[in-house]
Amino acid sequence: MSVIINNIQNDVLEKGVYYLTSDYKTRNDSRTHNGIDLIGKNKSIDKVVAIADGVVITSKKSKSAGNYVEIKHANNFVSRYLHMKDKSVLVKKGDIVRKGDIIGTMGNTGNSSGAHLHLGILDKNGKVIDPLPYLLGEKNFNIVIDNDYYKNFVLNVQRVLNVKQDGIAGPNTLKNTITVSSKTNRKQPIVKVIQEYLYNIGYTEVGKIDGIAGSNFTKAVKHFQKDNDCVTDGIITKRAKTWQKLLKLK
């Protein structure tokens, strides 16, 4: 099958016309296909870009996948890009990428018969899902706040601050919060709780969830503050309202 996709949300590949040569479920040889195959009009010179913000968790070569990259996104979704050209891959494990960043060039490495991109997406349970709705902009996992993440965040905040754990943030929880930044309380247990939450709701530049507020932590906090109309100083205080916004309080 060969379907022309010309309304791809611009940045899965560089702008242009792309041809879906094999979709998520069907494949000529009837084996299940855990992603979609795309070729660009420029064949092997088309660039492959990250479909959403995230952290590179794999960048290596395998017999079947060729040169491939896996990126972890908000809500623990993972996108996979296979068969990239030798020496074209621009990212390594641990790199923070933004939606639209070029990560390599389409190629024919691994088990592939012609230059193409095999794109796969896994959900937070590791289940393979159809990438097409994400490419067409019908679905988006970039900054999606899953209610479970918020509830867990509140419970964890209450736990580390020794407040009654009811999962509902109110004035008492807020009153007990402490200032957190790369200079203040940078190694308190609360740091890990905040890192985890920021990561899960899409501020993936927070990087490693290591319980230490460093420069990536500051970057992610500033991004959150900017999105929530707070002073963008990278410092979480109740006075300047960042704590209120994290806890979704007025």
> Cβ 83 to Zn ion, closest distance in Å?
8
- Mapped onto helix, strand or coil, the DSSP state of residue 224 is helix
Which single residue is written with the structure tokens 């242009």? 16
When the beta carbons of 27 and 98 are compared against Zn ion, the nearer one is: 27
> Cβ 35 to Zn ion, closest distance in Å?
5
> Cβ 56 to Zn ion, closest distance in Å?
20
In the complex, residue closest to Zn ion by CB: 118
Beta-carbon contacts of residue 217 (< 8 Å; ≥ 6 apart): 182, 191, 194, 195, 206, 207, 234
When the beta carbons of 73 and 118 are compared against Zn ion, the nearer one is: 118
Other Cβ atoms less than 10 A from the Cβ of 175: the count is 10
> Cβ 130 to Zn ion, closest distance in Å?
13
> Cβ 118 to Zn ion, closest distance in Å?
3
- Tell me the C-alpha distance between 230 and 227, whole Å: 8
Beta-carbon contacts of residue 239 (< 8 Å; ≥ 6 apart): none
When the beta carbons of 71 and 74 are compared against Zn ion, the nearer one is: 71
When the beta carbons of 66 and 202 are compared against Zn ion, the nearer one is: 66
Provide the pairing of β-strand 128-129 with 96-97.
unpaired
When the beta carbons of 21 and 179 are compared against Zn ion, the nearer one is: 21
Torsion (CA) 141, 143, 149, 153 in degrees, nearest 10: 160
Binding footprint of Zn ion on the chain (CB under 5 A) = 37, 118
In sequence order, what E strands does the chain have?
3-5, 18-22, 36-40, 47-49, 54-62, 66-72, 78-84, 96-97, 102-105, 117-122, 128-129
> Cβ 17 to Zn ion, closest distance in Å?
19
When the beta carbons of 34 and 142 are compared against Zn ion, the nearer one is: 34
> Cβ 5 to Zn ion, closest distance in Å?
15
Kindly state the tokens that stand for 46.
Answer: 């088309």
When the beta carbons of 11 and 37 are compared against Zn ion, the nearer one is: 37
At residue 65's C-alpha, the angle toward residues 107 and 55, to 5°, is 90
Contact 70, 88 (CB under 8 A): no
Which single residue is written with the structure tokens 């040169």? 67
